[in-house]
A and B are shown apart, each in its own frame.
Chain A
Amino acid sequence: MKRLLLVLLTLLLPVSAFGLEKEVAPIDAAGRSDKEASLPEYFVPPPPFSEGIYPCSQCHEGMPVNPKRRVLKDFHTDIELKNHAEDQRWCLDCHNANNRDVLRLVSGKVIRFEESYYLCGQCHGTIFRDWKAGVHGKRTGEWNGKKVYRLCVHCHNPHQPRFKPLEPKPPPVKPSHIK
């Protein structure tokens, strides 16, 4: 009882006000903290590709790169950039021109689709920080053991990232309807 009070008190103290705010080093699935591993990997389920689309190289291998902003007519006609600063950006800011099977960071570094959180993290830094701590998005598995993250793109379509509304599950039965 006393112990908890103490804990809660310390927790609720505005730590930052004393300049003591400490980065909580997120732990990846292998138990390494952010600071130990150069590019930590977070354990995630496979990326949510549409069936048959990956590897992209099955079509893009040898296909000329067309960096021009345009309405796609021959393929990917369902892809439209929306609510995602589309005026400032086009496909090849995220997708890698010469090897379509990987993504591309602003630095020129390429990353696998399994690590697309680094792509999003370039612009959504605070969200990325929360995500690593398991607070934005979610982790499943063991609260004191192995955890599985979700990629940003499991919840946000990268091309139209606004979270899609869902159908709610049924409301509870009203007391007046209980037999």
Chain B
Amino acid sequence: MSEQSGRAKRARGLSRRRFLKGAASGVAALAIPVQAADAMTWEAFFQRHFREMNDAEKSDVVARLEKEYAEKYGVSFNISTHEALPGVKFGYGLDLSRCIGCRRCVYACVGENNQSRDPQIHWISVLRFRKGDKWVNDLENSEKYYNPETVPEPGYFYMPVQCQQCENPPCVKACPTQATWKDEDDGIVVIDYNWCIGCRYCMAACPYGARHFNWTRPGIPKEELNPNTHYLGNRPRYVGVVEKCTFCIQRTRNDPGRYPACVEICPVGARKFGNLLDPNSEIRYCIEKKRVFRLKEDLNTQPKFFYFFAT
């Protein structure tokens, strides 16, 4: 388990308890839900950081959560804790010359990733721009509520935005509890919902508006829940935690692994996904042969999400 200890070392000084102690020693004790302090809550509260857990601890946590979810949702969930595959660094490509702004990706993502329907959370926002306008640096003034009979609309183009899976993610730096981190291997920025304290610093730090907050308990019809989940991905979230796109970690971090849901649904084939380290992947083909750019490159976030123009 040298891999395990290597990971643990990278996760320097992880301790939510230490943070809570330091930040507000008295309040920390009060924060334990004493009234509901049954064994499960107790275990949950003192759960170790994901990157410090060994396999046995992970399977205990998974068993506890699967039980908790079964009781809460009446659905039996499968929670994977798969680690990154060796020799894989994920990259994503989006062809702006094809996207027609139909939003099918938005809803495929909602379904696959158990996003709250009510209140509504969308990990993908599709922005509309007038052709010829200055735009890349003016995302805030784009239109995302467009609703014509059919798309594309003449004179406009569309740019879906989701987590850009930065190599240098400002959200990770902002997190006071290390509840969010970037996997050093496949590069996915993940969140441990059991460590997130809901301070939303990461949301303020993200230049792409890619992080979303659960103001209430997520509202999802039981029959629409996706029971195939990853601990760091689409498992049901709690009230008061932050969530975002994980490149469909529950699908992609597998061998063989499936394409993300947004890639598969796209009717125009604008979305590309693959291994940046594999010279035969479609993402490498895009980077080598097409005009590519990354959003807000000047911020040095180094996204692994590449926009390109096939034509």
Identify which of residues 105-119 in chain B touch chain A, using a CB-to-CB cut-off of 8 Å.
106-107, 119
Residue of A nearest to B101 (CB): A168
A8 touches B302 (CB 8 A): yes
Q: Which of B1-49 touch A at CB < 8 Å?
A: none
Is A171 a contact partner of B282 (Cβ separation < 8 A)?
A: no
Q: Identify A144's interface contact among B103, B255, B272, CB under 8 A.
A: B255
Contact of B258 among A4, A143, A171 (CB under 8 A): A143
- The segment out of A38-46, A59-67, A110-118, A131-139 that lies at the interface is A131-139
- Does the CB pair A144–B284 fall under 8 Å? no
Q: Are B103 and A170 in contact (CB under 8 A)?
A: yes
A27 contacts the other chain (CB 8 A): yes
- How far, in angstroms, from A150 to B85 measured CA to CA in the complex? 28
Chain B's interface size range is: 35 or more
Contact pick for A133, options B88, B167, B285, B292, CB 8 Å: B285
> Which of A4, A21, A144, A145 meets B167, CB within 8 Å?
A4
- Tell me what chain B mostly uses at the interface: helix, strand, loop, or mixed: loop
Answer whether A11 and B287 are a contact pair too, CB < 8 Å, given A135-B282, A144-B255.
yes
Q: Report the contact-size class of chain A (Cβ under 8 Å from the partner).
A: 35 or more
Stretch of A49-57, A79-87, A96-104, A159-167 at the chain-chain interface: A159-167
- B105-136: contact bitstring with A at CB < 8 Å (1 yes, 0 no)? 01100000000000110100100000000000
Bound-state CA distance A139–B266 (Å) is 10
Q: Determine the chain A residues whose CB is within 8 A of the CB of B93 once the complex forms.
A: 135
Which DSSP category, helix, strand, loop or mixed, fits chain A's interface? loop
Chain A positions near chain B (C-beta within 8 angstroms)? 1, 4-5, 7-8, 11-12, 15, 21, 24-27, 130, 133-146, 150, 155, 163, 165-174, 178-179
Q: A135-B282, A178-B120 are in contact. Are A172 and B310 (CB under 8 A)?
A: no
Smallest CB gap from B269: residue in A: A138
The answer, among B146, B152, B257, for a CB contact under 8 Å with A143, is: B257
The reply on B174 being an interface residue by CB < 8 A is no
Are B256 and A134 neighbours in the complex by a CB distance under 8 Å? Answer: no
Which residues from chain A contact B167 at a C-beta distance below 8 Å? Answer: 1, 4-5, 8
- Closest partner residue, chain B, to A25 (CB atom): B280
Is the beta-carbon distance between B259 and A140 smaller than 8 angstroms? yes
Residue pair A178, B257 in contact (C-beta under 8 Å): no
Instruction: For chain B, residues 181 to 195, give those with C-beta under 8 angstroms from any C-beta of chain A.
Output: 184, 187
A–B complex contacts, Cβ < 8 Å, 9 sampled: A135-B95, A135-B285, A135-B289, A138-B264, A143-B257, A145-B257, A171-B146, A172-B120, A172-B144
